[in-house]
Structure 1
Amino acid sequence: MVVIRDLYNVRPRPADGAPTPLTDEEERRYRAVLFSELGNEIADRGWARYPAYTPEERRRLFDVAHRLTAHWGQRVLVAVEDPCRVRLHLAGHEAPPLS
């Protein structure tokens, strides 16, 4: 006798060493956390640095900057500092140099 079971929330595994993509719900929640956390840091200091190792992570941070701009009515700029880090800042608020 063969029993067939329905599998929910099962995704194919990526190739070895490749990151697992986020589900739509995980992506939405992660962007909400970035919006809140980076928004608080930018509001306090005028700038924030955050790691971005992949093009998807960079796109996510650019989207967060656009959402913060729309929310505050003040432009949040994005600058790529190095291959692994992005800086978000308000105009006129520059971050100190990297150590």
Structure 2
Amino acid sequence: MALAMIRLFRFIGLVEGITTLALFVVAMPLKYWFATPGLVPPVGMIHGVAFIAYVMAMIACLWGRGFTRGEWARTTIAAFVPFGTFLNDPFLKRKQLLDESRIA
């Protein structure tokens, strides 16, 4: 169960990072450089949903599963820093692999 939760959390982090990228690289340049604001509301809403899913998955994944305060802090900060989920993913992958090696 814990391994499936880490995998899901990593996937949600990837989606959250991709939606941030879409917002910053596609939607906002279209709005400000080409006066075409049509993509900002839908991409922004998708990003908002992905962000909320990330925070909820973070709490569900980290709560009571042996994550340290530092890991909690890093993962929380990653939620608020643009592309922080991409930077946090290698740490989560290492934790996932460590947990998998304990089970095997």
TM-score calculated relative to the size of structure 2: 0.33
More relative contact order in 1 or in 2 (CA 8 Å, sep 6+)? 2
Structure of larger gyration radius: 1
Larger relative strand fraction: 1
Larger relative helix fraction: 2
TM-score calculated relative to the size of structure 1: 0.34
